[in-house]
Amino acid sequence: MSIEFEDLEVLLAELAAVDAPAPRPEVRERLMAAILGDPASIPAGFKFSLAESDRWVPHPVPGIRMRVLSMNRAQNYATLLLDVKPGTRFPAHHHSGAEECYVVSGTVYTCGHRMGPGDFLHADGGTDHGELWTDEGAQVILVVPPEDYMPDPRS
């Protein structure tokens, strides 16, 4: 089984989020599974991110945690699942590249609109986004340039 750079990058992000001197047991188990995994169990070119793995890492904005579902630096995108607590406000920001946001649950207010489950927003790269907020909390899927959310560990 070959380990992709993106797989290790996600594991490193999870390890970096750990405050304890040693990784949590579930992080160690994931790392060992990635290293020793059975290549016959997953077809080449497929990667799973199962909900029960509960692989959340802190987001820089308080009240938000994220799961890195996919990291593709070669194509310059990351697919993230954000879990946003009620009352959280996401500050105004600049989009270095295109950003796509799909609301899975809850509500998000942005650009003068209330977005609910099933709503989608695309923002072109080079645009500025005003503050976003949620009263009740939300889960959203974001597709963004990795550098907008995670620094490149190679630099």
Q: Which CATH number fits domain 5-148: 3.40.50.1220, 3.40.190.10, 3.40.50.10330, 2.60.120.10?
A: 2.60.120.10
Tokens 């990795």 correspond to 146
**Domain spans, the chain:** 5-148
Provide the whole-model pTM: 0.71
Q: In the chain, pLDDT over 90 holds for what percent of residues?
A: 41
What is the C-alpha separation between 46 and 60, in angstroms, rounded?
29
Tokens of 110: 């942005």
pLDDT value at residue 8: 61
34's CB contacts (< 8 A; 6+ apart) are: 3, 7, 8, 11
Tokens of 75: 């194509």
Is the distance from CB of 7 to CB of 37 less than 8 angstroms?
Answer: no
pLDDT band at residue 153 under the 50/70/90 scheme: low
For 65, the 3-state DSSP assignment is: strand
pLDDT value at 31 more than 50: yes
Is the distance from CB of 23 to CB of 13 less than 8 angstroms?
Answer: no
Q: In the chain, pLDDT over 70 holds for what percent of residues?
A: 68
pLDDT band at residue 155 under the 50/70/90 scheme: very low
Q: Which DSSP letter does residue 143 get?
A: E
pLDDT band at residue 9 under the 50/70/90 scheme: low
Over the stretch 52-86, which tens digit does the pLDDT of each residue have? Answer: 777 888 888 999 999 988 888 888 899 999 999 99
User: 120: which strand partners?
Assistant: 102
What is the C-alpha separation between 111 and 91, in angstroms, rounded?
13
Radius of gyration of the chain (CA): 16
pLDDT value at 108 more than 90: yes
pLDDT value at residue 1: 42
